Amino acid sequence: MTLTRTLNRLGGVKGKRTPAQVAADAKRTGRPPLPAKERRNYVANVRITEAERREFERQARVHGLTLSEVLMLPWRKEGRRP
């Protein structure tokens, strides 16, 4: 079944979709894939104290980074990749 037919059935829409509906559907296609060099394929859970979390988040805000990027800085500065 095509996407249009599925959406028509779910939304109770009769007939063809309007150009505005088609454009809205195109915007809901999801997040685009990352380039191969930027992909991550493993999630590591790290337990830290509340104070450590606040400090890491503060550092991330100050430097305009994500929390993950702050936690990875020691490896990336040395040119290593875990």
Phi-psi region of 80 (alpha: psi -120 to 50; beta: other; left: phi over 0): beta
Break the chain into its structural domains and give their ranges.
Answer: 1-30, 36-82
Q: Rounded distance, CA 13 to CA 10, Å?
A: 8
Q: For the ranges 14-18, 47-51, 68-72, which has the lowest average pLDDT?
A: 14-18
User: Does 11 score more than 50 pLDDT?
Assistant: yes
pLDDT digits (tens, 9 = 90+) for 24-40: 887 777 777 788 887 77
User: Does 82 score more than 50 pLDDT?
Assistant: no
Tell me which residue of 50, 42, 51 sits closest to 72, measured CA to CA. 42
